[in-house]
Amino acid sequence: MRGLSIILLTLFAVALAFINPAYTAEIKVGSIDSQRVLNESKKAIEISKSVEDFAKGKEKVLENDKKELEKLDEEYQKQISILSPEARKQKEEQIKKKFEDFQKKRAALSDDVRKKNAEVSKSFGEKIENIVKALGKKEGFTLIVEKRGLMYSPDDFYPLDLTDRIIKEIDSQK
């Protein structure tokens, strides 16, 4: 959907240039490869690592519960032949309850990681957007589009690729 809006916006700018010749000399279009910014920016890599570390910390919490559950099941398997039907049923319910608690914790921790990732992504996306807007205003761009949303552009369009400048600007900020 976003790609479609970028294409429509680009087509609008081009159509505007043909409708009013006065705009032809004033249109300055640049592009940015957001995926490259995310892959190459030191800040983006740091943020990605912080989310990974957050997730690993959450996984450690689950690891202890998993070991406890496995130990409980192992004990049950050793004792199954000597337990009375009533004691066996009680042990099975205990294991089932522990397993359900483990599943709930896993879902909650997974949700925490997902929320953290969304929060960090939103914040970083806003940072990129602010830098692109500032660069666009400062240098008089009419339009800055996402490179991956372009269906076609001539080879001489790529010198207006602003990706390296955006990466440099993001990494220079604290």
The residue among 5 and 23 whose pLDDT is bigger is 5
* Core vs surface per residue 58-84: b (16+ CB within 10 A) or e: beeeeeeeeeeeeeeeeeeeeeeeeee
Q: What is the pLDDT of residue 13?
A: 56
Asked whether residue 151 carries a pLDDT value surpassing 90, the answer given is: no
Asked whether residue 131 carries a pLDDT value surpassing 90, the answer given is: yes
Count of domains forming the chain: 1
Rounded mean pLDDT, 125-149:
89
Q: What is the pLDDT of residue 46?
A: 92
Asked whether residue 4 carries a pLDDT value surpassing 60, the answer given is: no
- Domain limits at 37? 2-172
1 confidence band (pLDDT: 50, 70, 90): low
Q: Which residues contact 40 (CB under 8 A, 6 or more apart)?
A: 167
Q: What is the pLDDT of residue 104?
A: 93
The residue among 157 and 26 whose pLDDT is bigger is 26
Query: Where residue 68 sits, what CATH number does that domain have?
Result: 3.30.910.20
State how far the Cα of 72 lies from the Cα of 93, in Å rounded to an integer. 12
Give the tens place of pLDDT for each residue, 112-128. Answer: 999 999 999 999 999 99
Asked whether residue 79 carries a pLDDT value surpassing 90, the answer given is: no
Asked whether residue 159 carries a pLDDT value surpassing 70, the answer given is: no
